[in-house]
Amino acid sequence: RFDPESGRWEALPPVPTPRTACAAAAARGAVYVLGGYRGRQPVATVESFDPATGKWDTLPSMPTARKWCSAAAAAGALYVFGGFNGVEEVGAAERLAAASGEWEELPPMPAPCEWGAAAAMRRSV
């Protein structure tokens, strides 16, 4: 973490599941890391980091393992879109509701997409 007052970087605990090509989103003071590539396989792993406590938590895995997906948080939920499942581009859209802790499959995107981007504004993604 960067401290702009001192101009120094501080090392934080590493993510429990090392990976590349993952998506990230921020909400309610936490950072969420979703999916990615571990070894030669896409993963469905979701983890959150609370900078206030310095602790990582493991959340329910996504229904679709993928890398190069996009994510955003809005209205008490975490959203993930598209990506690559190791064979083909993915058009899946899924939502993790904070209240239930369960993933819900949403209508698929009009076209599969990898390397996309997602953003939240007010209560919309």
Write out pLDDT tens, residues 49-89: 999 999 999 999 999 999 999 999 998 899 999 999 999 99
Q: Provide the pLDDT confidence category of residue 6 given band limits of 50, 70 and 90.
A: very high
Tell me, letter by letter, the H, E, C secondary structure of 7-30: CEECCCCCCCCCCECCEEEEECCE
Q: Determine what percent of the chain is predicted with pLDDT higher than 70.
A: 99
Residue count of the chain? 125
pLDDT in tens, 19-35: 999 999 998 899 999 99
Q: Provide the pLDDT confidence category of residue 116 given band limits of 50, 70 and 90.
A: confident
* Mean pLDDT along residues 102-125: 87
47-51, 87-91, 102-106, 120-124: which has the minimum mean pLDDT?
A: 120-124
Q: Is the pLDDT of residue 99 over 90?
A: no
DSSP 37-75: EETTEE---EEEEETTTTEEEEEPPPSS--BS-EEEEET
